[in-house]
Structure 1
Amino acid sequence: MTYLGHVRAVVTLGLPLIGGHLAQLAIGLTDTVMLGWFSVEALAAVTLASSYFFVLFLMGSGFGWAVMPLVAAAEAEGDETSIRRSTRMGLWLSIGYAVAVMPALWWSEPILRALGQKPQVAAMAGDYLRIAGWGMFPALLVMVLKSYLAALERTRTVLAIMVIAALVNAAANYALIFGQWGAPRLGLAGAAIASIVTQAVSLIAVVAYTLRALPQHDLFRRLWRPDGEMLARVFRLGLPIGLTSLSETSLFTASALMMGWLGTIPLAAHGIAVQLASTTFMVHLGLSNVATVRAGNAYGRRDREHMARGAAVVTGMSLAMAAATITLFLTIPETLLSLFMDADDPDRPEILAIGVGLLAVAALFQLVDGAQVIALGLLRGVQDTAVPMVIAALAYWAVGIPASYLLGFTFGFDGIGVWLGLVLGLGCAGILLSLRFWRFALPLVGAIPAE
């Protein structure tokens, strides 16, 4: 396939995935925007609670991510049995993980207070998580089934389901946060209930589609039957992916905790800036999913040349997106930040002043953030997850988090310093993971015999 052919294939597969990720992000984005209109305290609390929830969610989503390369490789080999087995065991592991982390969600308030958060914000975040935490079950199951569908290149279906979910979330948020359409005015609790409703609707939709469109895979027939060999395989592949996601997310969660030490206003500004950076990151994440699927297919065929060309194309597209994002963050930061605040909010000028500086730093890490997630996607496609996990842990925990603390507090750069630590951690990961794929993983592809 020519480079232009790869571009067309990436666009065809990637645009629905990017749209699906943006729709998924819209769920959290809607919480942030509407609670920002509700009160600064509620915005600070949901910023903290969302960071806490997604640390646990992304750790568990490793089993869902593991399904994607396994199904993609099995599809290339025409092995429908392995498609069914790997997806089922991904569902098993996701349910088990959700059960294991429920206590941490239920008793989040004392944990957040022990981490140095202000008592009022920790209490509000705890109230939110005691409700929203139950959404962990449907959210992880949806992740597995979305990965299954994406690996089969049914990405438009993933997009449609996530758009429906985002619309449901927006309507439920508006009704339950502000007490519209006859619903009670529940504020933060309303946002939590809306999130659960949204995840449940997503799960019902994706299960219904799978039953109707892919009956030959029989995913849910005798779902209760164990499959020890495949369970172990998904676990071995998924645990490092989950720990890698935990490493990166913990970097951003640590930054949220540090911003919380600086006060409610800096934490609120951080929440808005993170949402903006996360929105643009969804494009890179969608391209990373494309990289996993296409690399997984090439891996199943042991086609090194096809994989190399596809990897070059998806990396180049990520760099182009990063350049566009940098331009936006540096030229219209106040316009972007204002989308999340009431024009009459008395704290608006201070939040804007802090947020403009944070977005300037966010522009710095666009290139490296895209590079590291694309490299991770490619490595997952060739089922290389253990060493990338170690690289991520070193980059984020040994470089990023200490640098954030030193620059933010020891050297007194406050929020800007905390975010500069993010740049250093992401930059280290981007360089090392890219080297891992191009110098080590890719040259081995043609040398590995088909199973």
Structure 2
Amino acid sequence: MTEAALQSHTLGDHIRRTIILAWPVMLARLGLVGFATADVIVLGRAGAEELADYTLGLAIYDSMLAALAGLTMGVGVLTARVTGAGDDLAAGTIWRRGVIYGAAVGCAAALLLQLAEPLYGLLGQTPERAESAGNVTRLVALALPFVAIYFSTTTFLEALHRPLVGMWAVAAANITNLGLNIVLVFGLGPVPAMGAEGAALATVINSGLLALTLWAYTRHRLPGRERYGIGQTAPAPSPGEQRRIGYGAGLSYSFEAGAFVMMTLFVGWLGTLALASHAVLFQFLATTFMLAFGIAAATQVRVGNAWGRGDPRGMALAGWTGLGLATLSSLAFALLYVTLPEGMLRLFTDDPTVLAAAAPVMVWMSLALVFDGNQTVMSHACRGRGDTWVPTALHMMSYWVVMVPAGWWLAIRSEGGLMGIYQGILVASVVSFTAMALRFHRLTRRV
């Protein structure tokens, strides 16, 4: 074995390579969450009712967004595999399929969410809340086709070890999103104040700009376009395999996101104050999760590259290195949230009732985010190895068999309120992380 190959097996090299790939992916994913973060910051100044409508209105949308992220995952997994095996020309075909497929599924999802208002009513929300939240959902759903194109393209670029493009594109989109939020939520000149619906419209506009910018760059400006077969038709892994990877990941993400929708519906049963508090608390969970998600995406690419070149030890080191980095980053933020709960909450709201309700829950949210981040790293490591359906089954078990019943029992049945919701999230995240870690260990041992 050459000296370069031996070096690629060292822990230090895996840490360095994972960080190099992960940090721009982290910032890009944080930027995507930044759309919702800006919405919450602006709506937090518009009042608890607008914040509650937005929180419930985005619950089902977020589950569809997560499903699209999973359905398009085959782009990144197969691109990492074929380039790891030296077949760069196949990459362009994989990307083109992903963009077309993702856009089609995104359009179908957007049409489905036009039925949001009666669905909220069936799920126990008041008629007034179902109507106002349903209006938000119907509008923000129009962003889904653009989000699918974004996912397909950014995961493709990340698999080519070019994550900076997506990072800078998302950073620019966040600037325009914040400006549009201020104008559309509060109104300016001839533009009327739209409240929560204004925040949804800002998301649609910025998602479209983001997706089209990244598509145009990849199609016309990406260095080495000929090498990667952009605009060409080349032999590639079958479309069926690409979709199967997406089916497994999409179903897995849907199980997880759908369970979180149920938790939000439980919060809706607790009233407006609980919904507003949950909106703020969940921003910390989602933002920190995206740091781990960036490491997870890098880990998936690194595991996929090692799999493509037939390197079992490299696969194991890539997976466990990603887990260690995610644990350290999540713990650092968890300690910050626990140490300065009210100060951190004031970043999103100055409502004293929301602050008083949310502050005691920060410790449970902080514990949950550590294990939630770790489970996604292990899930991505398994998928980078080509494991499709077992992680899906584990997610279903963790979130629907464990989290939803636990959340209902602790929050509703035992009257634990919002604190019970986050205790249920913690229990499910611990179960999911343990199961995924054991699965990845078994996969690498089998190789």
8 Å Cα contact 1:62-1:245 kept in structure 2: yes
8 Å Cα contact 1:41-1:121 kept in structure 2: no
C-alpha separation in 2, matches of 1:114 and 1:9: 49
Amino acid at match of 1:367: V
8 Å Cα contact 2:125-2:268 kept in structure 1: yes
Which of the numbers 17, 20, 28 marks the counterpart of 1:12? 20
8 Å Cα contact 2:93-2:229 kept in structure 1: no
3-state SS of paired residue (2:238):
helix
- Which moved further from structure 2: 255-264 or 204-213? 204-213
Q: Normalising by the residue count of structure 2, what TM-score does the alignment of the two structures yield?
A: 0.93
Which of the numbers 135, 160, 183 marks the counterpart of 1:127? 135
Q: How does 1:354-433 map to 2 (within 5 A)?
A: 354-433=357-436
- Which moved further from structure 2: 129-138 or 261-270? 129-138
- The answer for the alignment partner of 1:448 in structure 2 is none
Q: CA deviation at 1:160?
A: 0.6
8 Å Cα contact 2:78-2:237 kept in structure 1: no
C-alpha separation in 1, matches of 2:283 and 2:302: 29
Q: Does 1:444 align with 2:443?
A: no
8 Å Cα contact 1:86-1:230 kept in structure 2: no
- The answer for the alignment partner of 2:221 in structure 1 is 212
C-alpha separation in 1, matches of 2:126 and 2:360: 24
Q: Deviations over 1:221-279 (max 9, x none)?
A: 68xx9x99732111111011011111111222111110100001001101110011111
Q: How does 1:300-339 map to 2 (within 5 A)?
A: 300-339=308-347
Q: Does 1:150 align with 2:158?
A: yes
Structure 2 residues not aligned, in runs of 5+ = 1-7
3-state SS of paired residue (2:125):
coil
Q: Percent identity?
A: 27
Q: Normalising by the residue count of structure 1, what TM-score does the alignment of the two structures yield?
A: 0.93
Q: How does 1:70-109 map to 2 (within 5 A)?
A: 70-109=78-117
- The answer for the alignment partner of 2:5 in structure 1 is none
Which of the numbers 435, 438, 443 marks the counterpart of 1:435? 438
Amino acid at match of 1:425: A
Q: CA deviation at 1:287?
A: 0.3
- Equivalences, count: 436
8 Å Cα contact 2:55-2:276 kept in structure 1: yes
C-alpha separation in 2, matches of 1:56 and 1:413: 29
Q: CA deviation at 1:32?
A: 1.1
3-state SS of paired residue (1:107):
helix
Q: Deviations over 1:287-328 (max 9, x none)?
A: 000100100100000111122222222211111112212211
> Judging changes above 3 Å, is the alpha-carbon distance between structure 1 residues 11 and 232 closer, same or farther for their aligned structure 2 residues?
same
Q: CA deviation at 1:182?
A: 5.5
Structure 1 residues not aligned, in runs of 5+ = 446-451
C-alpha separation in 2, matches of 1:149 and 1:444: 30
- Which moved further from structure 2: 62-71 or 180-189? 180-189
3-state SS of paired residue (1:38):
coil
C-alpha separation in 2, matches of 1:316 and 1:70: 25
3-state SS of paired residue (1:61):
helix
Which of the numbers 335, 344, 352 marks the counterpart of 2:355? 352
C-alpha separation in 2, matches of 1:64 and 1:284: 19
- The answer for the alignment partner of 1:449 in structure 2 is none
RMSD between superposed Cα atoms in Å: 1.8
C-alpha separation in 1, matches of 2:264 and 2:245: 29
3-state SS of paired residue (2:102):
helix
Q: How does 1:166-181 map to 2 (within 5 A)?
A: 166-180=174-188
8 Å Cα contact 1:64-1:145 kept in structure 2: no
3-state SS of paired residue (1:365):
helix
Which of the numbers 21, 35, 48 marks the counterpart of 2:43? 35
C-alpha separation in 1, matches of 2:257 and 2:197: 24
